[in-house]
Structure 1
Amino acid sequence: MTATGPTGDELLRLLGTLANPHRLRIVAALRAERAYVSQLARELGISRALMQLHLRKLEAAGLVSATLELSEDGKAMKFYEVKPFLVELSPDAIAAAAPTLSTSALGTSTQDGEQGERP
């Protein structure tokens, strides 16, 4: 991120990551307290495998972080917590980010299956 906000590619990555109801619920749950995969999966009513997938995507986008800790019985547990972030989404912020989009971002398919414009 630049001092004035995310680049176009960063903004796309953040919005794409958060454009999923499970990931929004995970961020909301982690806002209250850090948790491990099984705890979150039970709390949100989704499988551990799906939870791990969503947590990896959130971690790759820099929205959550993980630490590995040993439980009292010696079991390794990965705890996740939300990282502080603030993204301003306004016409001005989008206008500032748009010129920084990479050519690869412009040429990729969108989630709707539409082709992005090529330069």
Structure 2
Amino acid sequence: MALLAAVGHAQRLRIIAELAEGRMYVSELARRLGISRPLLYMHLERLESAGLVVGRLELSEDGKALKYFESAPFDLHLDVATILAAVRQDEEDRAAQAAPGQDSQNK
């Protein structure tokens, strides 16, 4: 589900498109996209957890810490079975969140 959620957002697709040109540090990427760094980090976190981008912290020559991101190789195949599995997983996750502790009460 994380993969579908990651590619199901226009802003995240724009991030992937920018990173297709090569690795970039967060401030530069935020400027290119015209979004704030906190919002960009939120999107990058979702893309990274889905395995679509990789982030690395590096030190510049002047000792400044820069977070670089680059796209990860991926090949996404989407079919009805994948969508059905994602929907089922989402429904199970929602049910588990709606009824915390219910399993322990029924035992």
Query: After TM superposition, is the score higher than 0.5?
Result: yes
Of 44, 52, 58 in structure 2, the residue corresponding to residue 63 of structure 1 is: 52
TM-score, normalised via structure 2 length: 0.76
Whichever structure has more helix as a proportion of its residues is: 2
Which amino acid in structure 1 is aligned with residue 36 of structure 2?
S
Deviations 1:20-60 (A, max 9, x none): 11110000100111001100000011011111111111111
CA shift for structure 1 position 70: 0.8
Give secondary structure in 2 for the equivalent of 1:14: helix
Give secondary structure in 1 for the equivalent of 2:76: coil
Instruction: Name the CA distance, whole Å, in 2 between partners of 1:47 and 1:106.
Output: 32
Give the alignment of 1:42-81 within 5 angstroms.
Answer: 42-81=31-70
Which amino acid in structure 1 is aligned with residue 14 of structure 2?
R
Deviations 1:67-95 (A, max 9, x none): 1111121101010001000111133x538
Ranges in structure 2 where 5+ consecutive residues have no aligned partner: 96-107
% identical aligned pairs = 48
Cα RMSD after superposing both structures: 2.1
Q: Which has the larger radius of gyration?
A: 2
Specify the alignment match of 1:16 in structure 2: 5
Specify the alignment match of 1:98 in structure 2: 85
Instruction: Name the CA distance, whole Å, in 2 between partners of 1:67 and 1:47.
Output: 19
TM-score, normalised via structure 1 length: 0.69
Specify the alignment match of 1:7 in structure 2: none
Instruction: Name the CA distance, whole Å, in 1 between partners of 2:82 and 2:8.
Output: 17
CA shift for structure 1 position 66: 1.0
Instruction: Name the CA distance, whole Å, in 1 between partners of 2:33 and 2:22.
Output: 14
Instruction: Name the CA distance, whole Å, in 2 between partners of 1:17 and 1:37.
Output: 18
